[in-house]
Chains A and B, each alone.
Chain A
Amino acid sequence: NAGVTQTPKFQVLKTGQSMTLQCAQDMNHNSMYWYRQDPGMGLRLIYYSASEGTTDKGEVPNGYNVSRLNKREFSLRLESAAPSQTSVYFCASSFLGYEQYFGPGTRLTVT
């Protein structure tokens, strides 16, 4: 039982490059989330998916897209990376509104 897994763990991009962050959970949770964590800002919600086939914007969605591929997988795409997107990205999942379980995070640097 791996919980929530994220790939990659680290990534360096040049401005304008694109990439997809992958997330998978094996807890049969219906809800999945993407957050970013910046120093002094706590975690901010980028997008979430309450169930397979649905996605919704969070607090900071600009510059990102998401895909809920199936119940297990929820990916986050940066189409044209900017230095302001340098951050640590966390994926999480939960059953309804109960506690969220987090992946280990992806440290992204955009130069």
Chain B
Amino acid sequence: AQKITQTQPGMFVQEKEAVTLDCTYDTSDPSYGLFWYKQPSSGEMIFLIYQGSYDQQNATEGRYSLNFQKARKSANLVISASQLGDSAMYFCAMRERGFGNEKLTFGTGTRLTIIP
């Protein structure tokens, strides 16, 4: 079974609109972490936001927020007021078994295109 599933291979969104990128995960560990990364066309991987499984509140970082629904095992990334510079690949990733385990499992990504 896939540990991280991103069901939207590509999305087109009008500039200034909000966008939600979907991510569902599969784990039986009670302690895990969820990450979102952005990969622009230049190729570098940029960390955006992190949510721990025990965090009571949804994580936010500027225009990025993580809609964490633990019971549904989903960790969707919400980008408010999208900008042309948000056009990129977005990857969801999971770390299982707490901070002692270093490995991340990545999803296959969603290509977001912002339309002017």
Q: Residues on A close to B: CB < 8 A? A: 31, 33, 40-45, 48, 50, 58-59, 88, 90, 92, 94, 96-102, 104-105
Contact with A along B12-43 (1 / 0, CB 8 A): 00000000000000000000010101000001
Residue pairs across A and B with Cβ atoms less than 8 A apart, 21 shown, are A40-B108, A41-B108, A42-B106, A42-B107, A43-B45, A43-B91, A43-B93, A43-B106, A45-B103, A45-B105, A48-B102, A50-B102, A88-B43, A90-B45, A92-B45, A97-B95, A97-B102, A99-B35, A100-B104, A102-B44, A104-B43
A104 cross-chain contacts in B, Cβ below 8 A: 43-44
Which residues on B sit within 8 Å (CB–CB) of A99? 35, 47, 50
Smallest distance from the beta carbon of A8 to chain B beta carbons, Å? Answer: 14
Question: Which chain A residues border B35 with CB–CB below 8 Å?
Answer: 99-100
Across-interface contacts of A59 in B (CB, < 8 A): 105
